[in-house]
Structure 1
């Protein structure tokens, strides 16, 4: 924006041509180009979680912290041992961004509003956490028995949408995770 404003300040008075001051026209055009590049980067971060067009081509489709091979527990016929996390549809915080779901410290999926992430687990105690950027929910311990399915619901703490410093003051409890 600064380049755009500087270029505008240097532009010649109305009625004169840009040929009289080509430097001002160049600065204004550069400012406009930088502004649009930043706008595209913000859109890319909102939809993809990172500015894709700045990455080299081989890395554009790769998500480095998502497991590439399915890591699930083999199931028997009636075995439904799993943990399911659903993002509340009424959650209005960061609607264009995905919450990352972690089970036992391993990232197992992403959630947009209304989506559900399911993970087959072995019977026993497991920790579940939801994160967005550097903010997270407190870890929730879940005990799962053979053939049992636990459903959890996550959302942002009510009121953080209107609190501009919540992402700093409530870093470790910006999101909530509870049993459905």
Structure 2
């Protein structure tokens, strides 16, 4: 079995610079808690979105286990729109209600899901029977989970914390178990 630990990034203050937005002070404190969560776990490899907040969230895990962080662009958060949206909550709800809808310059749920799932499948194939940490984001994480089980939807996404950690167990490409392992 392959175990994937999706680690949703810790808190960061919003800026328009998606790639370089760092963790906030609260985010760094939570990162330390996440690192402790993984101290006694066997971790074989660490992947991450290239966004700084995602990388920073899993840095402690990688250091603790003496591993490099492999950043992969296709694991980045979904692009909602190239422009500013008037109401983020309404916009995000719309793309979840209509999976093939995309705002100008953005990705639909289906496009973002396909991008990320292709990468996740390659990771699982490359690491059979390994324990893998993936530094990720809320929307793209839930879209990957939804690929395997439709119960992971907008309402599930709304309940996520920042950070959050989910353990997914796979038998080849079949999802056999999901557990939340983060305690707020």
Q: TM-score, normalised by structure 1?
A: 0.27
Q: TM-score, normalised by structure 2?
A: 0.27
Structure number with the higher strand fraction is 1
Q: Which has the higher contact order (CA 8 A, sep 6+)?
A: 2
Structure number with the higher helix fraction is 2
- Higher Cα Rg: structure 1 or 2? 1
